[in-house]
Amino acid sequence: IDLIQSKTELSRQAAVNQLEGRLKTEVRQMRQEIIDMIASIEAVIDYPDYDIEEETYDSMEKGAKKLLARMERLLAGADRGKILREGLQTVIVGKPNVGKSSLLNWFLEEDRAIVTDIPGTTRDTVEEYINIDGIPVKIVDTAGIRETGDVVEKMGVEKSKAYAEQADLILMMLDASRPLEAEDREILSFIDGKHSIVMLNKSDLEQKLSLEELEQFVPKEQILFVSVKENTGFDALIDAIKTLFFSGQTATADDALLGNTRHKNALYQAKEAMERCLVTIGTRMPEDFISMDLQDASRALGEITGDVADEEIIDRIFTKFCLGK
């Protein structure tokens, strides 16, 4: 279904990776290394009379750290993977007549939304998908947020706020040629704490908006000067979006390896177990305590692949070590 619903070449490749079992291969490799560590520990504990090379605390710590780093790498890409599969939910907000619909039309390179000088022209949401460096972005143009007595426009304003509440990213537009007004301050307060970029449109005109006052609401690095009319400032906007969600880097198909929330939760449990294991190793606890932490990590990874650990550990002990002969 991810392949069918993919919106960009990058999201298509991510879906293909899932079909090819990239996640299962990665998880099974990590799990096999954990089982090898458990087998070495259990063999020493259960067969003390045999001459078995014992895992040292240093070697166990080195192996556990490598496994933890691989788990953290997969988890780091989980949220980016969600964006590749579902699209970055982006909402354009602002008071009427600041250029929101013009911004949508610029993104789409067509006159998708009606643009007039009459405040309140946009009364309902307009939704479209766009492609930003392989990232599918679902962009929503909303009704201008303001106090109004018009029943229909008021419904549009409430809908705008509801979309903004659920959005991954909020693009707020301000008119740089006008000072901040009460409606602007209300919207800035509303988006506080959310992933947002504030764009000062009409930067081709004389600036009357106070940056000092604006920076009381939003950090300086999240403020951009753009001009939809002059087609300027949008490269910086693309870079800002990539910085917010992809650490300034281009997304890759590997980001989508964690296919769903259950996979993510299971891997997070494995990560926690591996962190406990490192504490146990660091405090030089008995080896059977280390084995218990490793078995917790193995069980959590097995929830992703559908594998069970107990018999595999026993089989691995007799395969890896010459015992019982």
Q: CA of 136: how far to CAs of 7, 78, 125, 141, in Å?
A: 6, 16, 19, 16
- Residue 118: the pLDDT is 42
Backbone angles phi, psi at 129, to 5 degrees: -100, 140
Using CA atoms, how far apart are residues 294 and 285, in angstroms rounded to an integer?
13
Contacts of 158 by beta carbon, 8 Å cutoff, 6+ apart:
none
- Residue 59: the pLDDT is 85
- Residue 10: the pLDDT is 66
- Residue 115: the pLDDT is 43
Enumerate domains of the chain plus CATH numbers. Answer: 2-77+257-320 (1.20.120.430), 85-254 (3.40.50.300)
Using CA atoms, how far apart are residues 274 and 41, in angstroms rounded to an integer?
16
pTM score: 0.57
Print pLDDT tens along the chain (325 aa): 677 766 666 667 767 766 666 778 888 899 999 988 888 887 776 655 554 455 678 888 999 999 999 999 888 777 666 777 777 888 888 887 777 777 777 777 655 544 444 444 444 567 777 777 777 788 887 765 545 545 555 565 667 677 777 778 888 888 888 888 888 888 888 888 888 888 888 877 788 888 888 888 888 888 888 888 788 877 888 888 877 776 655 555 555 566 567 888 999 999 999 999 999 999 988 888 998 999 999 999 988 887 765 555 556 555 655 545 4
DSSP β-ladder status, 223-225 and 196-201: parallel
Structure tokens at 257: 């390896």
- Residue 221: the pLDDT is 83
Please report the DSSP string for 197-258 in residue order.
EEEEE-TTSPP-S-HHHHTTTS-GGGEEE-BTTTTBSHHHHHHHHHHHHHTTSPP-GGGG-S
- Residue 275: the pLDDT is 95
From 244, 243, 211, select the one nearest 225 (Cα to Cα). Answer: 211
Please check whether residue 171 is in contact with residue 92, taking contact to mean a CB–CB distance below 8 angstroms: yes
